[in-house]
Amino acid sequence: MEPTLLSLAADVLRRPLEVVERVAEQPALLPQVLPRLVLLALVGGGVFGAVTGMYRGGPQVLYAAVKMPLLLLIPPMIVLPAARALVALDGPALSGQRLATACLVGMSRTAMLSVALTPPLWLLYRTDLSHQSALAWMLGSLALVGLPGLITVVRAMFPAGSPRGSQLALVALLGLVFAQTGWLLRPFMSMHGTGYPLLCAVDHDIFSGLQVRLLSTREAPTDWDCANPLVLGSHR
Amino acid sequence: MTGVEVPELRVAWLLIWFLVGAGVALALVRGGLPWPWAALALVGWPVLFPLLRPLGGREPPVPAGPLASAITETFAALASLRASPLSAPLDCDEELVRLQASLERIDARLAVVDTILADGGPELLPLRAARARSVAECHAVLQGIRNLRVQLGLLTLAGDTAPVRTQLSALQARVAALEELDQNRGQEPLVNT
């Protein structure tokens, strides 16, 4: 039976691994399932992004709504080849179909879980919250909903009894690529008094960037501003 | 890399991403996916790549061989008998489906062999003999399936499932051996040169 968007969403939240197995057993379901999973990730991530963008308001709501789903979708796409190699170390290689399904189920699960966090986050952003605190809350929320998604991806890729080392390596790899992609796509929330950049130029990596900005004791508002930002196709 | 080049690079990457996505979306639409779903490839084309194969590369239909009609009729007759409300229920649908699929695969191979044999020539004699053996074995299996009616009758009267199970197992083993034999033959040269 062709899955509807709602039934698929319920299955992804309740029984994510069953969805992966069902699609693996019935490849004819792929054309129905994969696009719907992409849509769920886009919608869920978009809602969460829009709420984080509300901290600043204006065009930032739209920018963050566009960027947040990309943050969910791009890292698994980058990690897919490496994940395939890691899985092949411990057993038979996985098909591209199963890899794509596993990644999309994990990411759409994260996206839908993130929607559940939007009401408290939105209320929090209505308060007089500092930029650093707002960012920390957003990162914390992402980590909270990202973990179930990551676990789903890893469990769907590795059969039961696989060595823990390869699984941890995949989690670490996905986590690193997520962090760096988030850094490249930043800011999800631009600061008050600055512009509305769509894309920032590459400066530093996630670790050195956060060390400078989050751990710094001095207030350095321009530090969060983008270097050489791209604003809807033109440069500020 | 200067500060001016970086934004141009970003724009170029975005363009490439959406162009590739548009190409994948077009291929998906041509493959039969409704365009609203295919349009999602603009954003997430790498994860929709697996759809290109099942949509675009549909497997060709299995060619019907010389036994196609006999296989269809035999299994249809058995199915109609089992569908009768007075017939005793027996959970063997899966076995019968597998049996029919195996016979159809063997029949498809026979169709290929027939194409080769159509050319004629004395060098094809071993192939002709092998084909005759396979056809005879298939006919014997089909006869065994027709005979299942007797066991089904016994089941209806006495409720004894053992004869049906035994007959089915024997037929499955026979077809499996035939398939294996055909595959082994396929690894060897069909014609001695």
A46-103 residue pLDDT tens: 999 999 988 888 888 888 898 898 888 888 888 887 888 887 776 667 778 888 898 8
- Is residue B136 located within the same domain as residue B45? no
CA distance B155 to B90: 9
Can you give the pLDDT at residue A23? 86
* Distant-in-sequence, close-in-space partners of A210: CB < 8 Å, separation ≥ 6: none
For residue A231, list its beta bridge partners.
A234
Taking residue B92's Cβ as centre, other Cβ atoms within 10 Å add up to 16
Domain assignment present for B121: yes
Contacting residues of B for A199, CB less than 8 Å apart:
7, 10
The DSSP code for A235 is: E
Choosing from B57, B77, B97, the residue where a domain stops is B57
- Is residue B94 located within the same domain as residue B49? no
Contacting residues of A for B40, CB less than 8 Å apart:
35, 38-39, 42
Domain assignment present for B62: no
* Distant-in-sequence, close-in-space partners of B17: CB < 8 Å, separation ≥ 6: B45
Q: Which two tokens stand for residue A96?
A: 């591209």
Q: Which of the listed ranges A20-24, A206-210, A213-217 does the model predict with the highest average pLDDT?
A: A20-24
User: CA quadruple B99, B101, B102, B104: dihedral positive or negative?
Assistant: positive
CB contact under 8 A, B51 and A30: yes
- Is residue B40 located within the same domain as residue B77? no
Least confident piece of the model among A208-212, B21-25, B49-53: A208-212
β-bridge pairing A234-235 and A230-231: antiparallel
The model's pTM is 0.62
Q: Please report, rounded to a whole number, the percentage of residues in chain A having pLDDT higher than 70.
A: 76
CA distance B20 to B10: 15
- Which of A26, A228, A234 to substitute to test the interface with B, most B CBs within 10 Å? A228
CA distance A190 to A138: 13
- Is residue B78 located within the same domain as residue B119? yes
Tens digit of pLDDT for each residue in A6-45? 888 999 999 999 998 888 877 778 888 999 999 999 999 9
Chain A: residue whose CA lies nearest to B6: A201
Can you give the pLDDT at residue A116? 93
- Is residue B98 located within the same domain as residue B154? yes
Domain span at residue B128 reads 68-185
Can you give the pLDDT at residue B192? 40
Domain assignment present for B39: yes
Torsion on CA atoms A52, A33, A173, A160, rounded to nearest 10: 130
The stretch A146-155 carries a mean pLDDT of 87
pLDDT category, A218, cuts 50, 70, 90?
low
- Is residue B88 located within the same domain as residue B30? no
CB contact under 8 A, B50 and A77: no
Can you give the pLDDT at residue A236? 38
Domain assignment present for B192: no
- Judge contact between B70 and B132, C-beta under 8 A: no
Q: Which of the listed ranges A64-68, B31-35, B61-65 does the model predict with the highest average pLDDT?
A: A64-68
- Is residue B152 located within the same domain as residue B76? yes
- Is residue B172 located within the same domain as residue B148? yes
Can you give the pLDDT at residue A3? 75
- Judge contact between B108 and B65, C-beta under 8 A: yes
* Distant-in-sequence, close-in-space partners of A61: CB < 8 Å, separation ≥ 6: A50, A53, A54
Q: Which two tokens stand for residue A119?
A: 């009401």
Domain assignment present for B120: yes
Q: Which two tokens stand for residue B21?
A: 């996505």
- Judge contact between A43 and A58, C-beta under 8 A: no
- Is residue B28 located within the same domain as residue B112? no
- Is residue B140 located within the same domain as residue B179? yes
Mean confidence (pLDDT) of chain B: 77
Least confident piece of the model among A105-114, A218-227, B12-21, B97-106: A218-227
Could you give the residue ranges of the DSSP H alpha helices within chain A?
5-14, 16-25, 30-53, 59-90, 96-125, 131-157, 164-185, 206-213
- Is residue B41 located within the same domain as residue B122? no
Longest dimension (CA), chain B: 90
- The better pLDDT of the pair B46, A106 is held by A106
- The better pLDDT of the pair B63, A20 is held by A20
Domain assignment present for B144: yes
Tens digit of pLDDT for each residue in B128-173? 888 888 888 889 888 888 888 777 777 777 777 777 778 888 888 8
Mean confidence (pLDDT) of chain A: 80
- The ipTM (two decimal places) reads 0.72
Can you give the pLDDT at residue A224? 54
pLDDT category, B188, cuts 50, 70, 90?
very low
Contacting residues of A for B54, CB less than 8 Å apart:
27-28, 30-31
Backbone angles phi, psi at A234, to 5 degrees: -115, 165
CB contact under 8 A, B7 and A228: yes
Number of domains in chain B: 2
Angstroms from B30 CA to nearest CA on chain A: 13
CB within 8 Å of chain B, chain A residues 25-44: 27-28, 30-31, 34-36, 38-39, 41-42
Domain assignment present for B28: yes
In single-letter form, the type of residue at position B64 comes to A
- Judge contact between A226 and A187, C-beta under 8 A: yes
3 state DSSP class of A199? strand
CB contact under 8 A, A73 and B37: no
Domain assignment present for B32: yes
Name the strand (E) or helix (H) holding B2.
Answer: none
Q: Please report, rounded to a whole number, the percentage of residues in chain B having pLDDT higher than 70.
A: 80
Can you give the pLDDT at residue B189? 42
Q: Which two tokens stand for residue A202?
A: 């590459």
- Is residue B109 located within the same domain as residue B152? yes
Can you give the pLDDT at residue B104? 85
3 state DSSP class of A92? coil
